[in-house]
Structure 1
């Protein structure tokens, strides 16, 4: 189930924080791993990691002015891909922060990263997302979004590791898992 209480808490807290000044400023949110976040191995469920990152993304969008723009333009936000690197277990009642920021964009997608950190600075996981802003159910050029936010429509430079992920993902077959024997 979606954590609506956490969602509203994070959005309300984000509304009280100053707006983000730059496209790639980082939003930090604070969390605790609750019993309902756990899987059968007593660690935070991998799906919950993605959901809590969603909360960070919404708060980031709130502070960056994107939520207001989405409502004004009747646009929607959709996730179009992700890659996750898990490194440390998050267990019951552990405190952690989620750091969320937009990095760059191409002509179709905005690339965002999220990472969860323990109070000692150890990183538990890191996620790279590809998101699209939709108008009439079709992805629009993120430069339009940047302009709508009063920002430079030219993307910041692509880090090499994000470019490599985009290139590698373009090599994946679609539709996936096709059996060549069934095609004949």
Structure 2
């Protein structure tokens, strides 16, 4: 079940947080609860993605994106993700989630998110490809930025590792070809 109570808590906790620029970083604090764990007694990888979603929701609020989405009847979708898991998050551990937009191209916005344990260790990192959608498909990020009233006219240069992911993903066949067993 989607953690609606956590969404409400995050929106209330950050209701008076200062607005941030489109490339600003939003930080949220969480705890690993028993409903977050799997049978290995650690945070389930699916729950990690859900908690990253919570961070992106407040990030979108603080940048003004949620208002723009509502005003234009647009939606927000994730079009791809690459996650690197490095440290377990155990029950009742406290951790921070940080999220920010890194760059964009003519169709997508690329977001970086990390979870950092209380001891300073980075537990995981995710690179998301996000898109704003409207009745006619993907809304160009340039139009979204214009609606946000942002002064940014060009994207920051993607870090090399992000560009490598973009380039590699462009070679991936779509639709996928499912191989049959021999």
TM-score by length of 2: 0.95
The CA deviation at 1:120 is 2.2
The ranges of structure 1 where at least 4 consecutive aligned residues each deviate by more than 2 angstroms after the TM superposition are 177-181
The unaligned stretches of length 5 or more in structure 2 are none
Looking at structure 2, the residues matched to 50 and 136 of structure 1 have their Cα atoms a distance apart, in angstroms, of: 27
Residue 84 of structure 2: aligned partner? 85
Looking at structure 1, the residues matched to 153 and 51 of structure 2 have their Cα atoms a distance apart, in angstroms, of: 29
Residue 53 of structure 2: aligned partner? 54
The CA deviation at 1:24 is 1.5
Residue 37 of structure 1: aligned partner? 36
Residue 3 of structure 1: aligned partner? 3
Residue 99 of structure 2: aligned partner? 100
TM-score by length of 1: 0.94
1:169 aligns with 2:172: no
- CA RMSD, aligned part only? 1.6
> Cα deviations across residues 61-90 of structure 1 (Å, max 9, x unaligned)?
000000011001111000000000000000
Q: How many residues are treated as equivalent by the alignment?
A: 181
The CA deviation at 1:180 is 8.1
Higher mean Cα deviation, 10-19 or 164-173?
10-19
Residue 23 of structure 2: aligned partner? 24
Higher mean Cα deviation, 78-87 or 145-154?
145-154
The CA deviation at 1:11 is 1.4
Higher mean Cα deviation, 145-154 or 84-93?
145-154
Distance 1:85 1:145, change over 3 A: same
The CA deviation at 1:27 is 0.4
The unaligned stretches of length 5 or more in structure 1 are none
Could you tell me whether the CA contact under 8 Å between 1:143 and 1:155 is conserved in 2? no
